[in-house]
Structure formats: structure tokens, C-alpha cells
Amino acid sequence: MATREYQGRKFDYQGINPVVDALTIEEALQININGKPFTLSMRTPGADPELVRGILHNEDIVNTPGFHPEVKLGTEKEGGVVTVAHVEIPEQFLGSGYTNSRSLLSVSSCGICGKTELGSQDFGPALASDVSFSAEKFTDMFDQMNKKQHDFMQSGGTHAAALFDRKGQLIVAREDIGRHNAVDKVVGQLLLEDRLSEAKAMTVSGRISYEITIKAFKAGIPFMAAVSAPSSLAVDYAKEFGITLLGFCRDGRATCYSTPNRIDNTRAHTINTKSP
């Protein structure tokens, strides 16, 4: 279960009443690599192997998408909550995200927290894609994702990420208390299934940060869409990476901040496109 019930008292115009609310679980997951602690992720339990595999890919800890190290889970707390993941990675598969010796702290609120510096990286050439979507198609994508947000319906406390194929059909959706964790989970799922190349668009339930933009780029996903706003740095990176980034995707509307040429503007009145 991704939620736990908590008793409380509700104060409103009707007075004070006892309530029982379902709250989203947040637990620490320590990831050990080659017998040593490497990172601590605050996440919602569930799909932990996918989360770990996504982190290994998105942080360039494993240097090839075709290598899938076994993820051994252990040290369960009461209720079967896994608290440690052990991964063995041969030296030839270790990427710069491991060898630069930075300790990562992945928390539920902010993907950059715990890192000592942004640093400069050569990410490679911008993404090229022959895929296009209409603005209204993103409304349909969010509808598809929302139907999979079962934990959110119970608690109101989870974020979601979803990946879609070139026709805008849902491939996978995951929830987590952390926005970055949800993205890592969907990417990790398709990596494990050797289907990541099918993903052409990503939707997220909250805002888009620069780190989520980098995760999309590393996964080769040319479209990103969010319910709320992107950060300025997310837009800057999206322009550099060749990602079509849309924010404020609500009620059939969206705002495109980068690479708008991939948007099918047959019905241009449905989208407010800002110049990149």
C-alpha cells in the first residue's frame, strides 16, 4: 500500500470532527553500490527496482541502457517496507555519475537537494524527432495519466509521471511522493522492458525542473508536458536539448516554451505558443 491511515481532527464551519485520512507514505531507500552506501532516496514504496534502475540511468551511474544489474531488496520494516537496495555493477559499466564520487541525496521535494554543485556537462547533440502532437492531444494524455493516479485519489499527496508512444497512447504511469522519483520509475520500467525507445512524450503532474528536463533528454524523450509551470532553467535546457516543453496544460490549453515546430497547430487557437 502506498498510503497509511491517520486519525485527526477536522476544524471547519461545522465544528470539530474526528477524521481518518489516507496519507502518502514517505520512506527512505538506501542504495548500496558494490557493497558501499551511495545514495539515499526519499520515496513512496513500490516499484523500487524500477526506481533504482531509473536513478542508475538518469544519473549516469550505469553507462549503458542495455546493462541491468540485479537489484536485491532487503531490511524490511514492519509492513514489508524495503529500506535497502543492493546493486553490484562491474567497473566497465560504471558511468561518470558514480566515478565522480559525488554522494547523491534524492529527496521527495527537490531533486538537486544534497548535491554540492550543478557542474557543467557535455550532454551530447540535441534530440531529433519526426513526431508531432496537437495541443489538445496533451489534454488526452493527462486524462490517461490521471486515471492511473490511484494513490492520489486516496491521499492527494502523490505526484505522477507517464510516458506515451508516438500516437499519444499511454505506455506506463507511476506515482510517488517525489516528482523526480516518479520520472525515474517510468524510465526504469521501460528500460527493464527494453522499450524506452517507444517513449515519445512525458507528462508530469506538477512543475518541470531542470533536472526532470535532463532526465527526459537522457531517456531520449522529445516532448515534455506539465500541469503547472516549468522553471526558467528547465526551459533553457529544453531549448538546448531539442525538447518540446509545454506548461500549464489544462482544459485543452497549453503553453509551449521551446521547439514549437513539433506542435501541430491546425487548431492554433487551442495553444498559446511562446517563441523559443
223 within domain boundaries: yes
* CATH code, domain with 238: 3.40.140.10
Q: Is 195 annotated as contributing to ligand binding? A: no
91 within domain boundaries: no
59 within domain boundaries: no
246 within domain boundaries: yes
Catalytic residue among 110, 112, 131, 233: 110
pLDDT digits 0-9 by tens, 180-210: 999 999 999 999 999 999 999 999 998 888 8
pLDDT band at 52 (very low <50, low <70, confident <90, very high): very high
122 within domain boundaries: no
Region 169-179 average pLDDT: 95
101 within domain boundaries: no
Q: What is the mean pLDDT of the chain?
A: 84
Q: For the chain, how many structural domains are there in total?
A: 1
The answer to whether residue 27 scores a pLDDT higher than 90 is no
Cell numbers that stand for 204 in this block: 508530469
Q: pTM for the whole thing?
A: 0.76
Is 113 one of the catalytic residues? no
Q: Is 251 annotated as contributing to ligand binding? A: yes
Cβ of 147: how many Cβ atoms within 10 Å? 11
Cβ of 201: how many Cβ atoms within 10 Å? 25
Higher pLDDT among residues 231 and 7, named by residue: 231
55 within domain boundaries: no
Q: Is 262 annotated as contributing to ligand binding? A: no
Region 25-40 average pLDDT: 87
Q: Is 252 annotated as contributing to ligand binding? A: yes
**Which residue segment(s) compose the domain that 239 sits in?**
133-273
